[in-house]
Amino acid sequence: MKCIIVDDDELSRLAIEKCVKSNTILSLVAVCSSGKEALEVIRKNDIDIIFLDVEMPEMSGIEFIRNYQRNSQVIIISGKKDYAAESYDYDVTDYILKPVDLARFNKAVDKAKQISENFKVENKKEEELYIKKDSSYVKLNLNEVLFVEAMADYVNIYTLAGRHTILSTMKSIENKLPANDFVRIHRSYIVRLDKVEKYEESAVKIGDKVLPVSRSQKENIINRLKVL
């Protein structure tokens, strides 16, 4: 599992790094001294676990969790118990007190691994969706979906094989699509992220289609794309 360490204290970073390197499950991608530095790393890499301190200048660990739309699991490593209750409001995987004990650290990593494996099982179930066409239900492979377009009381689902038109609302479709793979870019469009070939200031390109990006969604799509 790819991980990063985020802590402003050098000795703490070294102690956590030692634990990471002793654990065969983990692969250390970066060691960061601030939340802002960590955000830059996350934008360029797929990170499974973030080992995060709480009390840091500029951006605290809690602020980091609150503002970062994350796919990564967070394990907080702090010298104080004070933030434990609040941190769990943001679905952190575990909360470890400093000084870091290797056995306790490994237990947290094992917990993260189990959560990740459970997620993969659930995610596999989300790779297919059935849509109603005429009087039957047809299986739709979500990996082949390019984008969804609103059209009055209907939606068009564009796939690699063609177009499906179904009676539905965009909100209903959005709720059924896996959030990790799809993003709303406009009131009339939802796109599959890995099918986006090009992004400009106010549009994305998928195949030969250029789709508008609303002003309110610009920051969201930039954060979701892996921008170098």
Task: Report how far residue 79's alpha carbon sits from residue 17's, in angstroms, rounded to the nearest whole number.
Answer: 16
Task: Report how far residue 220's alpha carbon sits from residue 97's, in angstroms, rounded to the nearest whole number.
Answer: 33
What is the reported pLDDT for 49? 96
Render pLDDT for 118-131 as a digit per residue (tens, 0 to 9): 877 665 555 778 88
* CATH code, domain with 29: 3.40.50.2300
Domain boundary among 74, 103, 123: 123
Confidence (pTM): 0.58
Residue 176: give the domain boundaries: 128-224
Read off the pLDDT of each residue in 181-187 and give the average, rounded to a whole number. 92
Work out the mean pLDDT of the chain and round it to a whole number.
Answer: 90
8 Å CB contact between 186 and 203: no
Render pLDDT for 27-82 as a digit per residue (tens, 0 to 9): 999 999 999 999 999 888 989 999 999 999 889 998 998 877 667 999 999 999 98
Q: Assess whether 24 and 67 both reside in one domain.
A: yes
* CATH code, domain with 219: 2.40.50.1020
Q: Assess whether 84 and 193 both reside in one domain.
A: no
Higher pLDDT, 131 or 145: 145
Total number of domains constituting the chain:
2
Q: Assess whether 103 and 153 both reside in one domain.
A: no
CA angle 137, 127, 28 (to 5 degrees): 175
